[in-house]
Amino acid sequence: MIKRISHVTVYVLDQDSAKAFYTEKLGFTVTGDFDMGEGIRWLTASPPEQPDVEFVLADCRMGHDAETAEQLRAMVAKGAIGPGVLATDDCQKTYQELVARGVTFVQEPAERFYGTEALFRDDSGNWFSLSQRTGAPPPAS
């Protein structure tokens, strides 16, 4: 039986730059940084209040042939990949803190049916929803 999610893969263009972005700008904690051989590095970071969920900040080559890795790099750089939603108790406050740290937002906080949401990009181009949930989503049809 599946109990929970433990890792989320976020493909990045430069692992050193991503490590700095996720720790210095988002406030994550590095949970692993290991050389796996053959130029592959296992780099993970977690939100400080959720250390049991690790973001694998993966080089696009990890697990892919050269052609696929290059296609993936292009998709990441283009901003075509949105790995997920990051939850906050105060979207406006977190938005202001992240802007002050140099995070690029593509959408300022806005009210939605489910709460308040802002969209930002990491240093590779991946976009995330920063959300403060205040209402329940409508029931499924």
**3-class secondary-structure state, position 68:** helix
CA distance 124 to 15: 9
Q: How large is the average pLDDT for residues 93-112?
A: 97
| Residue among 82, 115, 87, 119 nearest 104 (CA) | 119
| Per-residue model confidence (pLDDT) at position 39 | 78
Kindly tell me if the per-residue pLDDT of 138 is higher than 60.
no
Give the Å distances, CA to CA, from 131 to 34, 43, 51, 89. 32, 25, 19, 8
Kindly tell me if the per-residue pLDDT of 105 is higher than 60.
yes
Q: State pLDDT tens for residues 25-66.
A: 999 999 999 998 887 899 999 999 999 999 999 999 998 999
